[in-house]
């Protein structure tokens, strides 16, 4: 389990992020139209998994905007914005913000995602939501970058993630 903080207070997650060089765990998540999506839908593409607690917080919203602007334009790359928010909230947020270059995905039917990626918060006031993390998976399904953000109220290290993507 990862030990992170929320507003300086310790919280724990269900495990650890998949390590660099490991095969990315399978997932099946829900898109804004209520259909399901998984790795096969993005075959031969690099996937940026932007994982966060909720779009209803400024830092989470900022990360979606930032990755929409900076990573989505990269060749052979798709940005998946993953949270426990319902698909309706994802759709409303992206439409309101004019974000068309990210794919919002909800874990509401798939609690195993948080367990498999080690990001389900297991203690504290956000228990049950996902921690803030970035996992980048190459076109062969291998993890090439992962960052568990140590303080939930902080943004991920965009520069490091973008550098891995070239």
User: In the chain, how long is the greatest CA-to-CA distance?
Assistant: 40
Which entry of 28, 60, 81, 94 is annotated as an active-site residue?
A: 60
| Residue whose pair of structure tokens reads 């389900």 in the numeric block | 120
User: Nearest Cα to 129, choosing from 6, 47, 9?
Assistant: 6
**Residues 16-34: tens digit of each pLDDT:** 999 999 999 999 999 999 9
Is 134 a residue whose pLDDT tops 90?
yes
56-68 average pLDDT score: 72
Mention the CATH class of domain 3-165.
alpha beta
Active-site residue, 160 included: no
Q: Domain residues of the chain, as ranges?
A: 3-165
Is 60 a residue whose pLDDT tops 60?
no
pTM: 0.92
CB atoms within 10 A of CB 55: 20
């Amino acid at each position: 389990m990862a030990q992170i903080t929320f507003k300086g207070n310790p919280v724990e997650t269900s495990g650890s992020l998949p390590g660099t060089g490991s095969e990315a765990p399978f997932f099946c998540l829900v898109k804004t139209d209520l259909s399901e999506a998984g790795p096969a839908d993005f075959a031969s593409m690099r996937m940026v998994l932007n994982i966060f607690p909720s779009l209803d917080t400024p830092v989470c919203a900022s990360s979606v905007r930032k990755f929409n602007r900076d990573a989505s334009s990269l060749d052979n790359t798709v940005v998946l914005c993953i949270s426990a928010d319902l698909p309706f909230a994802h759709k409303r947020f992206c439409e309101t913000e004019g974000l068309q270059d990210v794919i919002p995905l909800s874990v509401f039917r798939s609690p195993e995602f948080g367990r498999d990626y080690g990001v389900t918060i297991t203690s504290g006031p956000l228990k049950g939501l996902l921690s803030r993390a970035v996992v980048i998976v190459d076109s062969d399904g291998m993890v090439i970058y992962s960052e568990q953000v140590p303080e939930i109220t902080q943004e991920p290290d965009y520069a490091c993630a973008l550098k891995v993507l070239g």
